[in-house]
Amino acid sequence: MMKTAYKVPEHLTIPPSSVFYLAFGAQAGLDYLTFQRRIAIIAGQDGWIAIIIAALVMHIGIWFMYALLNREQTDLITINKRMFGSIIGGIFNSVLIINFLFVGALSVRLYAEIIKIWIFPDLKISILIFLLLLLAYYIVSGGFRVIVGFFLFAQLSIALIVIYVNLMPYYYPSNLLPVWSHNMTELFEASWSMLPSYLGIEALLIFYPFIKHGKKAQTWSHWGNVVTMVIYLMAFIFSIMFYSLEQLKEEQWPILTLFKFVELPFMERVEFIGASFQLFRLVPLLSLYAWMAIQSTKLQFHFSKRKTLPLALVLILVCSLAFKDTEKVMVFYRIASYFGFALIFLYVPILFLISKFKGAVKS
Protein backbone atom coordinates (compact mmCIF):
# COMPACT_ATOMS: atom_id res chain seq x y z
CA MET A 1 0.00 0.00 0.00
CA MET A 2 1.37 3.36 -1.06
CA LYS A 3 1.58 6.27 1.28
CA THR A 4 -0.36 9.46 0.74
CA ALA A 5 1.29 12.06 -1.49
CA TYR A 6 0.73 14.80 1.06
CA LYS A 7 -0.05 15.03 4.74
CA VAL A 8 -2.93 17.15 6.00
CA PRO A 9 -2.00 18.88 9.30
CA GLU A 10 -3.93 17.36 12.18
CA HIS A 11 -5.54 20.68 13.17
CA LEU A 12 -7.19 20.78 9.71
CA THR A 13 -8.66 17.28 9.89
CA ILE A 14 -12.15 16.24 11.03
CA PRO A 15 -13.17 13.27 13.21
CA PRO A 16 -14.67 10.23 11.45
CA SER A 17 -18.10 10.93 12.99
CA SER A 18 -18.31 14.23 11.08
CA VAL A 19 -18.60 12.24 7.87
CA PHE A 20 -22.09 11.20 9.02
CA TYR A 21 -23.68 14.61 8.50
CA LEU A 22 -21.38 15.37 5.57
CA ALA A 23 -22.72 12.28 3.80
CA PHE A 24 -26.34 13.01 4.67
CA GLY A 25 -26.05 16.72 3.91
CA ALA A 26 -24.36 16.16 0.56
CA GLN A 27 -26.91 13.54 -0.49
CA ALA A 28 -30.18 15.15 0.61
CA GLY A 29 -29.87 18.21 -1.58
CA LEU A 30 -32.50 20.15 -3.49
CA ASP A 31 -33.61 17.03 -5.37
CA TYR A 32 -35.50 16.24 -2.16
CA LEU A 33 -38.19 18.68 -3.34
CA THR A 34 -38.95 17.02 -6.68
CA PHE A 35 -38.06 13.32 -6.68
CA GLN A 36 -41.55 12.15 -5.57
CA ARG A 37 -43.14 13.02 -8.90
CA ARG A 38 -40.38 11.32 -10.85
CA ILE A 39 -40.70 7.91 -9.20
CA ALA A 40 -44.49 8.12 -8.85
CA ILE A 41 -44.76 8.31 -12.65
CA ILE A 42 -42.77 5.07 -12.97
CA ALA A 43 -43.68 3.00 -9.91
CA GLY A 44 -46.80 4.68 -8.53
CA GLN A 45 -47.49 3.99 -4.86
CA ASP A 46 -44.67 1.40 -4.87
CA GLY A 47 -42.09 4.16 -5.23
CA TRP A 48 -40.99 3.59 -1.63
CA ILE A 49 -39.58 0.22 -2.68
CA ALA A 50 -37.43 1.94 -5.31
CA ILE A 51 -36.10 4.33 -2.64
CA ILE A 52 -34.91 1.37 -0.56
CA ILE A 53 -33.36 -0.45 -3.55
CA ALA A 54 -31.48 2.71 -4.60
CA ALA A 55 -30.16 3.14 -1.04
CA LEU A 56 -28.89 -0.46 -0.98
CA VAL A 57 -27.12 0.09 -4.32
CA MET A 58 -25.52 3.26 -2.94
CA HIS A 59 -24.16 1.25 0.02
CA ILE A 60 -22.25 -0.80 -2.55
CA GLY A 61 -20.91 2.40 -4.10
CA ILE A 62 -19.76 3.65 -0.69
CA TRP A 63 -17.98 0.34 -0.08
CA PHE A 64 -16.11 0.64 -3.40
CA MET A 65 -15.02 4.21 -2.64
CA TYR A 66 -13.60 3.25 0.75
CA ALA A 67 -11.99 0.12 -0.71
CA LEU A 68 -10.05 2.34 -3.12
CA LEU A 69 -9.34 5.20 -0.72
CA ASN A 70 -8.28 2.99 2.19
CA ARG A 71 -5.94 1.12 -0.11
CA GLU A 72 -4.33 4.18 -1.69
CA GLN A 73 -4.57 6.44 1.40
CA THR A 74 -5.09 9.60 -0.64
CA ASP A 75 -7.67 11.46 -2.75
CA LEU A 76 -8.91 10.75 -6.28
CA ILE A 77 -6.85 13.57 -7.85
CA THR A 78 -3.60 12.06 -6.59
CA ILE A 79 -4.77 8.54 -7.46
CA ASN A 80 -5.43 9.56 -11.07
CA LYS A 81 -1.92 10.96 -11.43
CA ARG A 82 -0.48 7.91 -9.70
CA MET A 83 -2.34 5.47 -11.95
CA PHE A 84 -2.23 7.21 -15.34
CA GLY A 85 0.62 9.71 -15.15
CA SER A 86 0.61 13.48 -15.18
CA ILE A 87 -0.86 13.91 -18.69
CA ILE A 88 -3.74 11.41 -18.86
CA GLY A 89 -4.35 11.71 -15.13
CA GLY A 90 -4.37 15.49 -15.55
CA ILE A 91 -7.06 15.23 -18.24
CA PHE A 92 -9.24 13.10 -15.97
CA ASN A 93 -8.70 15.54 -13.12
CA SER A 94 -9.63 18.51 -15.31
CA VAL A 95 -12.92 16.79 -16.16
CA LEU A 96 -13.58 16.34 -12.43
CA ILE A 97 -12.89 20.03 -11.72
CA ILE A 98 -15.28 21.10 -14.48
CA ASN A 99 -17.91 18.73 -13.10
CA PHE A 100 -17.61 20.16 -9.57
CA LEU A 101 -18.06 23.71 -10.89
CA PHE A 102 -20.97 22.64 -13.09
CA VAL A 103 -22.85 20.90 -10.27
CA GLY A 104 -22.28 23.93 -8.03
CA ALA A 105 -23.74 26.18 -10.75
CA LEU A 106 -26.77 23.93 -11.23
CA SER A 107 -27.44 23.78 -7.48
CA VAL A 108 -27.36 27.55 -6.94
CA ARG A 109 -29.47 28.20 -10.04
CA LEU A 110 -32.08 25.64 -8.95
CA TYR A 111 -32.36 27.29 -5.53
CA ALA A 112 -32.71 30.71 -7.17
CA GLU A 113 -35.53 29.32 -9.30
CA ILE A 114 -37.29 28.03 -6.17
CA ILE A 115 -37.09 31.45 -4.50
CA LYS A 116 -38.30 33.18 -7.66
CA ILE A 117 -41.26 30.83 -8.13
CA TRP A 118 -42.39 30.59 -4.52
CA ILE A 119 -41.45 33.83 -2.77
CA PHE A 120 -40.29 36.68 -5.03
CA PRO A 121 -41.65 36.33 -8.59
CA ASP A 122 -40.06 39.63 -9.66
CA LEU A 123 -36.65 38.85 -8.20
CA LYS A 124 -33.59 39.21 -10.44
CA ILE A 125 -31.97 35.80 -10.27
CA SER A 126 -28.49 37.18 -10.97
CA ILE A 127 -28.59 39.31 -7.80
CA LEU A 128 -29.62 36.39 -5.59
CA ILE A 129 -26.97 34.09 -7.06
CA PHE A 130 -24.31 36.78 -6.61
CA LEU A 131 -25.23 37.17 -2.93
CA LEU A 132 -25.18 33.40 -2.38
CA LEU A 133 -21.76 33.16 -3.97
CA LEU A 134 -20.49 35.93 -1.69
CA LEU A 135 -21.66 33.84 1.27
CA ALA A 136 -19.96 30.78 -0.20
CA TYR A 137 -16.74 32.79 -0.61
CA TYR A 138 -16.80 33.65 3.10
CA ILE A 139 -17.37 30.02 4.09
CA VAL A 140 -14.83 28.43 1.75
CA SER A 141 -12.21 31.01 2.74
CA GLY A 142 -12.46 29.66 6.28
CA GLY A 143 -11.31 26.22 5.15
CA PHE A 144 -12.76 22.73 5.04
CA ARG A 145 -13.57 22.56 8.75
CA VAL A 146 -15.79 25.65 8.45
CA ILE A 147 -17.71 23.99 5.62
CA VAL A 148 -18.17 20.91 7.80
CA GLY A 149 -19.52 23.15 10.57
CA PHE A 150 -22.12 24.57 8.20
CA PHE A 151 -23.17 21.05 7.23
CA LEU A 152 -23.83 20.38 10.91
CA PHE A 153 -25.82 23.62 11.15
CA ALA A 154 -27.75 22.58 8.02
CA GLN A 155 -29.32 19.70 9.94
CA LEU A 156 -31.77 22.29 11.29
CA SER A 157 -33.71 21.77 8.09
CA ILE A 158 -34.78 18.38 9.48
CA ALA A 159 -37.07 20.36 11.82
CA LEU A 160 -39.45 20.75 8.88
CA ILE A 161 -40.50 17.14 9.50
CA VAL A 162 -42.91 18.47 12.16
CA ILE A 163 -44.89 19.98 9.27
CA TYR A 164 -45.89 16.47 8.26
CA VAL A 165 -47.48 15.92 11.67
CA ASN A 166 -49.60 19.06 11.22
CA LEU A 167 -51.15 17.53 8.10
CA MET A 168 -52.28 14.27 9.72
CA PRO A 169 -56.02 14.90 9.08
CA TYR A 170 -55.36 15.10 5.34
CA TYR A 171 -53.55 11.76 4.96
CA TYR A 172 -55.15 8.73 3.30
CA PRO A 173 -53.03 5.62 4.07
CA SER A 174 -55.14 3.69 1.57
CA ASN A 175 -53.24 5.56 -1.17
CA LEU A 176 -50.30 3.25 -0.44
CA LEU A 177 -52.33 0.20 -1.50
CA PRO A 178 -52.02 -2.19 -3.22
CA VAL A 179 -48.44 -2.95 -2.23
CA TRP A 180 -46.05 -4.31 -4.87
CA SER A 181 -48.49 -3.93 -7.75
CA HIS A 182 -45.68 -3.06 -10.17
CA ASN A 183 -43.32 -5.54 -11.81
CA MET A 184 -39.58 -5.70 -11.15
CA THR A 185 -38.77 -3.93 -14.42
CA GLU A 186 -40.75 -0.87 -13.30
CA LEU A 187 -39.25 -0.98 -9.81
CA PHE A 188 -35.70 -1.17 -11.15
CA GLU A 189 -36.44 1.66 -13.58
CA ALA A 190 -37.72 3.76 -10.67
CA SER A 191 -34.64 2.80 -8.63
CA TRP A 192 -32.40 3.93 -11.49
CA SER A 193 -34.31 7.22 -11.57
CA MET A 194 -33.89 7.53 -7.79
CA LEU A 195 -30.13 6.90 -7.68
CA PRO A 196 -29.09 10.50 -8.55
CA SER A 197 -30.90 11.65 -5.40
CA TYR A 198 -28.32 9.72 -3.35
CA LEU A 199 -25.34 11.31 -5.07
CA GLY A 200 -23.15 13.92 -3.40
CA ILE A 201 -21.38 11.32 -1.31
CA GLU A 202 -18.72 11.17 -4.05
CA ALA A 203 -17.26 14.30 -2.39
CA LEU A 204 -15.56 11.73 -0.14
CA LEU A 205 -13.18 11.05 -3.02
CA ILE A 206 -11.70 14.53 -2.56
CA PHE A 207 -11.91 15.21 1.20
CA TYR A 208 -10.81 11.73 2.36
CA PRO A 209 -7.28 12.91 3.39
CA PHE A 210 -8.93 15.46 5.70
CA ILE A 211 -10.54 12.70 7.78
CA LYS A 212 -8.63 11.71 10.89
CA HIS A 213 -8.38 7.90 10.73
CA GLY A 214 -10.20 7.65 7.40
CA LYS A 215 -10.92 3.92 7.69
CA LYS A 216 -13.10 4.54 10.74
CA ALA A 217 -15.33 6.90 8.76
CA GLN A 218 -16.82 4.18 6.58
CA THR A 219 -19.45 3.13 9.10
CA TRP A 220 -20.51 6.75 9.54
CA SER A 221 -20.88 7.14 5.76
CA HIS A 222 -23.17 4.12 5.63
CA TRP A 223 -25.27 5.50 8.48
CA GLY A 224 -25.52 8.83 6.68
CA ASN A 225 -26.85 6.96 3.65
CA VAL A 226 -29.43 5.23 5.88
CA VAL A 227 -30.65 8.56 7.27
CA THR A 228 -30.95 9.93 3.72
CA MET A 229 -33.08 6.90 2.82
CA VAL A 230 -35.35 7.46 5.84
CA ILE A 231 -35.81 11.15 4.93
CA TYR A 232 -36.71 10.23 1.35
CA LEU A 233 -39.09 7.51 2.53
CA MET A 234 -40.90 9.95 4.79
CA ALA A 235 -41.14 12.57 2.05
CA PHE A 236 -42.53 10.07 -0.46
CA ILE A 237 -44.92 8.24 1.86
CA PHE A 238 -46.40 11.44 3.28
CA SER A 239 -46.71 12.88 -0.24
CA ILE A 240 -48.46 9.78 -1.62
CA MET A 241 -50.85 9.78 1.35
CA PHE A 242 -51.60 13.50 0.91
CA TYR A 243 -52.06 13.64 -2.87
CA SER A 244 -53.83 11.19 -5.08
CA LEU A 245 -51.44 9.31 -7.36
CA GLU A 246 -52.58 11.29 -10.41
CA GLN A 247 -52.12 14.58 -8.55
CA LEU A 248 -48.61 13.62 -7.48
CA LYS A 249 -47.68 12.76 -11.06
CA GLU A 250 -48.59 16.30 -12.10
CA GLU A 251 -47.11 18.19 -9.13
CA GLN A 252 -43.65 19.59 -9.91
CA TRP A 253 -42.89 20.74 -6.33
CA PRO A 254 -44.74 18.22 -4.09
CA ILE A 255 -43.13 19.18 -0.78
CA LEU A 256 -43.53 22.95 -1.16
CA THR A 257 -47.12 22.61 -2.38
CA LEU A 258 -47.85 20.38 0.61
CA PHE A 259 -46.67 23.19 2.91
CA LYS A 260 -49.37 25.47 1.47
CA PHE A 261 -51.98 23.44 3.34
CA VAL A 262 -50.31 23.86 6.73
CA GLU A 263 -52.08 26.31 9.06
CA LEU A 264 -50.12 28.08 11.77
CA PRO A 265 -51.57 30.81 14.02
CA PHE A 266 -48.58 33.10 13.51
CA MET A 267 -48.01 32.63 9.76
CA GLU A 268 -50.20 32.28 6.68
CA ARG A 269 -47.72 31.31 3.95
CA VAL A 270 -45.88 28.35 5.50
CA GLU A 271 -44.45 27.40 2.10
CA PHE A 272 -42.22 30.49 2.48
CA ILE A 273 -40.56 28.72 5.40
CA GLY A 274 -40.15 25.55 3.36
CA ALA A 275 -38.56 27.39 0.44
CA SER A 276 -36.34 29.53 2.66
CA PHE A 277 -35.14 26.57 4.72
CA GLN A 278 -33.65 25.06 1.56
CA LEU A 279 -30.95 27.70 2.02
CA PHE A 280 -29.63 25.51 4.86
CA ARG A 281 -29.19 22.72 2.33
CA LEU A 282 -27.78 24.81 -0.50
CA VAL A 283 -25.10 26.96 1.15
CA PRO A 284 -22.90 24.17 2.58
CA LEU A 285 -23.45 22.11 -0.58
CA LEU A 286 -22.42 25.01 -2.84
CA SER A 287 -19.44 25.71 -0.59
CA LEU A 288 -18.39 22.06 -0.69
CA TYR A 289 -18.42 21.87 -4.49
CA ALA A 290 -16.48 25.15 -4.76
CA TRP A 291 -13.94 23.83 -2.24
CA MET A 292 -13.63 20.53 -4.13
CA ALA A 293 -12.95 22.45 -7.35
CA ILE A 294 -10.19 24.63 -5.85
CA GLN A 295 -8.70 21.77 -3.81
CA SER A 296 -8.52 19.65 -6.97
CA THR A 297 -7.01 22.57 -8.88
CA LYS A 298 -4.35 22.97 -6.19
CA LEU A 299 -3.43 19.29 -6.30
CA GLN A 300 -3.38 19.12 -10.09
CA PHE A 301 -1.92 22.49 -11.11
CA HIS A 302 -0.36 23.66 -7.80
CA PHE A 303 -2.33 26.93 -7.81
CA SER A 304 -3.08 28.70 -4.54
CA LYS A 305 -6.62 28.06 -3.31
CA ARG A 306 -7.04 31.69 -2.24
CA LYS A 307 -6.25 32.84 -5.77
CA THR A 308 -8.43 30.27 -7.56
CA LEU A 309 -11.49 30.63 -5.29
CA PRO A 310 -12.68 33.97 -6.80
CA LEU A 311 -12.19 32.58 -10.31
CA ALA A 312 -14.12 29.40 -9.44
CA LEU A 313 -17.05 31.40 -8.07
CA VAL A 314 -17.08 33.65 -11.15
CA LEU A 315 -17.24 30.56 -13.37
CA ILE A 316 -20.12 29.20 -11.26
CA LEU A 317 -21.92 32.56 -11.62
CA VAL A 318 -21.51 32.69 -15.39
CA CYS A 319 -22.53 29.05 -15.83
CA SER A 320 -25.60 29.40 -13.58
CA LEU A 321 -26.85 32.40 -15.53
CA ALA A 322 -26.49 30.57 -18.86
CA PHE A 323 -29.63 28.51 -18.20
CA LYS A 324 -32.89 30.03 -19.46
CA ASP A 325 -35.55 28.25 -17.41
CA THR A 326 -36.21 25.67 -14.69
CA GLU A 327 -36.80 22.81 -17.13
CA LYS A 328 -33.33 23.18 -18.66
CA VAL A 329 -31.78 23.36 -15.19
CA MET A 330 -33.49 20.09 -14.21
CA VAL A 331 -32.40 18.37 -17.44
CA PHE A 332 -28.74 19.30 -16.92
CA TYR A 333 -29.04 18.47 -13.21
CA ARG A 334 -30.01 14.91 -14.18
CA ILE A 335 -27.15 14.66 -16.71
CA ALA A 336 -24.62 15.80 -14.10
CA SER A 337 -26.09 13.30 -11.64
CA TYR A 338 -25.51 10.41 -14.01
CA PHE A 339 -21.89 11.53 -14.39
CA GLY A 340 -21.62 11.13 -10.62
CA PHE A 341 -23.20 7.68 -10.93
CA ALA A 342 -20.61 6.65 -13.54
CA LEU A 343 -17.85 8.01 -11.32
CA ILE A 344 -18.89 5.91 -8.32
CA PHE A 345 -20.05 2.69 -9.96
CA LEU A 346 -17.79 2.46 -13.03
CA TYR A 347 -14.66 4.55 -12.64
CA VAL A 348 -13.93 3.90 -8.94
CA PRO A 349 -14.29 0.07 -9.23
CA ILE A 350 -11.96 0.12 -12.27
CA LEU A 351 -9.38 2.10 -10.29
CA PHE A 352 -9.74 -0.32 -7.39
CA LEU A 353 -9.07 -3.31 -9.66
CA ILE A 354 -6.05 -1.56 -11.21
CA SER A 355 -4.73 -0.79 -7.73
CA LYS A 356 -5.13 -4.41 -6.63
CA PHE A 357 -3.46 -5.66 -9.81
CA LYS A 358 -0.49 -3.33 -9.34
CA GLY A 359 -0.19 -4.40 -5.72
CA ALA A 360 -0.24 -8.08 -6.71
CA VAL A 361 2.44 -7.53 -9.38
CA LYS A 362 4.72 -5.74 -6.88
CA SER A 363 4.22 -8.53 -4.36
Single-letter amino acid, residue 222: H
What is the C-alpha separation between 25 and 7, in angstroms, rounded? Answer: 26
Q: Delimit the domains of the chain by residue range.
A: 10-350
**Is the distance from CB of 108 to CB of 279 less than 8 angstroms?**
no
pLDDT tens-digit map of 45-85: 999 999 999 999 999 999 999 999 999 999 999 999 999 99
pLDDT in tens, 170-195: 899 999 999 999 999 999 999 999 99
Write out the DSSP string of 182-212. Answer: S-HHHHHHHHHHHGGGGTTGGGHHHHGGGBT
| Greater model confidence, 329 or 250 | 250
Q: How far apart are CA 155 and CA 134, in angstroms?
A: 22
* Torsion from C-alpha of 344, 84, 7, 301, nearest 10 degrees: -100
- Give the range among 133-137, 153-157, 168-172, 328-332 with minimum mean pLDDT: 153-157
Q: First CA to last CA across the chain, in angstroms? A: 10
pTM score above 0.85: yes
Q: Are 247 and 110 in contact (CB under 8 A)?
A: no
Q: What angle do CA 212, 213, 219 make, to 5 degrees?
A: 110
Choices 1.10.3720.10, 3.40.50.300, 1.20.1740.10, 1.10.510.10: CATH for 10-350: 1.20.1740.10
Express each pLDDT in 130-153 by its tens digit.
999 999 999 999 999 999 999 988
Alpha-carbon torsion 123, 125, 126, 129, what sign?
positive
Mean per-residue pLDDT for 113-121?
Answer: 86
Instruction: Give the separation between CA 23 and CA 20, rounded to whole angstroms.
Output: 5
